[in-house]
Structure 1
């Protein structure tokens, strides 16, 4: 169907105005012209209600034809290869993917670790902490915390959450670092769980750069040796 024909159909459909009054008058005349029933004659055919129904159908037909003409004239046929858009359909939203937690620090085998600064430090003193989590008992463990000797660093002590008698602890200066080291004594063990090792130190007034500070933890479980390590991103 070309565009000119569509336009003529639209114009004709838009200008069409059914004469409802005239149609109703035709229905009334048909009812009024009903001749009286004579008993001696056979029933008339068609019956009066059929004529009324026919006239009513004609009215509906005219109205329907007008509506169809408007609809047809306004619809474009899809071109070859063109998709006809369908109406929106209801669908069930997909479940969101499982939430991901924060990225875990260094982990290897049964060990997981994290290095952080204790928030209770001040402008002259700080505490660096190494948190070690093991999912299996350890028969060997050595934790080493290295604090760069910048900003007047000087040790003020250390501690660990595991029993003191189970470890050999030391704090020494090595190659420009203050090194805290905790070594599990032979015959002792580290149970599954989360354990903390902390080194304390004074430093010059103000914030201290921790960019060179780091730590390592090396242990042995029933399935062999394992190790983790990391650094301290914050400054204090």
Structure 2
């Protein structure tokens, strides 16, 4: 049979055929859900003679029929990388020609907390000594005094101009929090600075081991440094 006659007969058969989409889909689903044969089964299964020679012809005929009849909405399930739940490819984060820009280093500084030697059996002062080795354009100092028996705020001070800071004292359930925040547009120069929190307490030698401080410094270029520590026992 020549190729032209074969195509004509296939076209006529396709035009007269009404595909049963439900049966076609069911057959595809059964084929996909069937477990693959084991390696031993594949090794024992005899291979029909001439299968390799008939396969290209079968593919050509099937393609021709599909082109004439069409699949008409048949769902196709893809496998491997396109299967549902398969990990999607992740594009690398965009970078500039010189790579990510490193963060600016924060201001150089050191701090130490102590209980002032002038404290007594009913009153105490926690001193935070801060030394800056570079200019500071942003500063937050926080002293947290544990609320041991009798602790109550009696005042605060610092060696920097008082008008440069917004100062608050907050009573939390377990802590008395003293906070100094440098106002916008103000700066702290290089040198030593002291911040002090004052409070009453129950009579006796108060244990300051639960007291703590946090200092956050910001430089003119946006770099940030954070210092933390405690006050220990008097």
TM class by smaller structure: 0.5 to 0.7
Alignment match, 1:67: none
Q: 2: CA distance between counterparts of 1:119 and 1:172?
A: 25
Deviations 1:113-164 (A, max 9, x none): 0000110111000000111111001000000000000021000000000000
1:23-42 maps to which residues of 2 (within 5 A)?
none
* Distance in 2 (alpha carbons) for counterparts of 1:140 and 1:215: 17
- In structure 2, C-alpha distance between the alignment counterparts of 1:210 and 1:122, rounded to whole Å: 13
**What is aligned with 1:227?**
226
Q: Match of 2:171?
A: 173
Corresponding residue for 2:209?
A: 211
SS at 1:165 equivalent: helix
Unaligned runs of 5+ in 2: 1-105
For 1:233 and 1:180, locate their aligned partners in 2 and report how far apart those are by CA, in whole Å.
17
Counterparts in 2 of 1:139-150, with a 5 A limit?
139-150=137-148
Q: Which runs of 4+ in 1 moved over 6 A?
A: none
1:163/1:109 CA distance change after superposition, 3 Å? closer
Aligned residue for 2:151? 153
**Alpha-carbon distance between aligned partners in 1 of 2:191 and 2:173, rounded to the nearest angstrom:** 33
Matched-pair contact (CA < 8 Å) for 1:160–1:196: yes
User: Who is 2:54 aligned against?
Assistant: none
- Give the structure-2-normalised TM-score: 0.53
1: CA distance, partners of 2:190 / 2:149: 37
Shift of 1:222: 3.4
Shift of 1:227: 1.1
Q: Counterpart of 1:111?
A: 109
Specify the alignment match of 2:190 in structure 1. Answer: 192
Q: Structure 1 residue 233: deviation in Å? A: 1.4
> Secondary structure of 2:163's match?
helix
Residue 211 (structure 1) shift: 1.3
Conserved 8 A contact 1:111-1:227: no
Check the 8 A contact 1:117/1:126 in 2, yes or no. Answer: yes
Q: CA RMSD in A?
A: 1.2
Deviation at 1:175, TM superposition (A): 3.7
1:109 Cα offset (Å)? 5.2
Give the match for residue 96 of structure 1: none
